[in-house]
Amino acid sequence: MKAEETERAALEKGRFDALTGLTEQVSAMREDLSQKQDQFLDSLVDQSQGMIDKISERIPKLVVMAAAKVIEGLELEPSQVESIVNTILTQAPDEEKLELRLNPEDFQLLSGIHQATVTQAQPNPASSDEDFSQALSGLFGGGDNNDGLADKYPSVTFIEDDTLGRGDCLLESRFGLVDGRVATRLSAIEESMGSKT
């Protein structure tokens, strides 16, 4: 009986040792798997962040390129040209003699707005106290009236420049040049969006 008990005790000890060994192996495997899983997740997070950074760098450029394509295909309305001119003129000193270069088509749109205003505002020569030369001057827009633009923009000389695209303008004063070209404005937008390219 003692031999049986010794055999049973040895068998129990063997099972216990085997179970302990297996438990330690499983625990080591779990820890190794957990470390590999953490490394994989860290690598995935780093890769994802790298992709997000690349996309974030490229988005402003893509937005500006898309805007440029859309703008390129648009037809400008006279009021839009007038708004462009008024905006760039806010960057010039008051009472300064200015030279504003516009695309010829934009100049014609702007002139059309102000020519209509001048034509509507002209008095009837027969019922006024104007002499004949004043009446003729009023009817034909005066010598250097720039199609009515001189009334609204007295210190600005408008120049048609066919090297400029639609919506582009350049303002020159004695202080320098203000670049109002569409490409320049889009570049400023791209910079404000944080593009690094």
- Determine how many CB atoms are found less than 10 A away from the CB of residue 101: 19
Any bridge partners for residue 178, and if so which? 171
What's the pLDDT at 142? Answer: 42
Total residues found in the chain within this entry: 197
What's the pLDDT at 194? Answer: 72
What's the pLDDT at 143? Answer: 42
Residue 20 resides in a domain: yes
Report, as ranges of residue numbers, the positions in the chain whose pLDDT lies below 50: 118-121, 133-146, 197
- Determine how many CB atoms are found less than 10 A away from the CB of residue 161: 16
> DSSP states of 79-114 as a string?
HHHHHHHHHHHTTS-TT--EEEEE-HHHHHHHHHHH
Encoded tokens for 81: 């040209």
Residues 128 and 181 both lie in one domain: yes
Encoded tokens for 24: 């330690």
Residues of the domain holding 52: 1-73
What's the pLDDT at 147? Answer: 58
Residue 197 resides in a domain: no
What's the pLDDT at 86? Answer: 92
What's the pLDDT at 118? Answer: 46
Residue 119 resides in a domain: yes
Residues 84 and 67 both lie in one domain: no
Confirm whether pTM is higher than 0.85: no
Residues 15 and 90 both lie in one domain: no
What's the pLDDT at 171? Answer: 94
Residues 67 and 110 both lie in one domain: no
Residue that is last in its domain, among 26, 45, 73: 73
Residue that is last in its domain, among 14, 45, 73: 73
What's the pLDDT at 111? Answer: 87
Residue that is last in its domain, among 73, 106, 127: 73
Instruction: Please list, in sequence order, all residues whose beta carbon lies within 8 angstroms of the beta carbon of residue 104, skipping any fewer than 6 positions away.
Output: 160, 161, 162
